[in-house]
Homo-oligomer: A and B are copies of this chain.
Amino acid sequence: MPHTHDHGHCIDTAMAAARRLCEERGARLTPVRRRVLELVWANHKPTGAYELLPQLAQDGFNSAPPTVYRALDFLLELGLIHRISSLNAFIGCDHPGSAHPTGFFICHKCGEATELPPDELSALAERLEALLGVRVEGETHELTGLCSNCRKAA
């Protein structure tokens, strides 16, 4: 997806969604939280918590780990970002607000992550509930491989 879209639009949409969600829930989108969200949205690649520290410092924010993790926890809680555990990294959510199962495809060539279609994940979860007799309450799906752009390039 590199350079194939107007990324400013992605950021704007994300920030607007964040403002709306916070308003709805009576939560405060403080400067640190807003900035962290912007930084996570700076591109479509998963971002590590410690990568954010120097960037926050540059903006004059406090930049000790707890500050970043608190902001990230807040954003996770509201569903504005997701955590990619296999990378210890975070990425913006494409459609925050609506509860949905999440998963990502991460290209090992360009590093970009794409959110997986929730429908497919729900379908899987339902099948598994039926097959295994379990109740699914949370799910993480992290696929890797070559994205369509990188496939074309190769």
Contact = CB atoms under 8 A, between A and B. Distances in A.
Interface in A98-124: 103, 105, 107-108, 114, 116-117, 120-121, 124
Nearest to A149: B133
A144 B105 CA distance: 20
Interface string A110-154: 000010110011001101100111111111111111111001000
A147 B120 CA distance: 22
A8 B146 CA distance: 41
Interface of A: prevailing SS: mixed
Nearest to A139: B143
A58 interface: no
A147 B144 CA distance: 28
B105 A132 contact: yes
A136 B145 contact: yes
B86 A140 contact: yes
A134 B105 contact: yes
A151 B107 CA distance: 38
A85 interface: yes
A114 B131 CA distance: 12
Contacts of A86: 85, 140
A82 B107 CA distance: 21
Contacts of A134: 105, 107, 114, 143, 145-148, 151
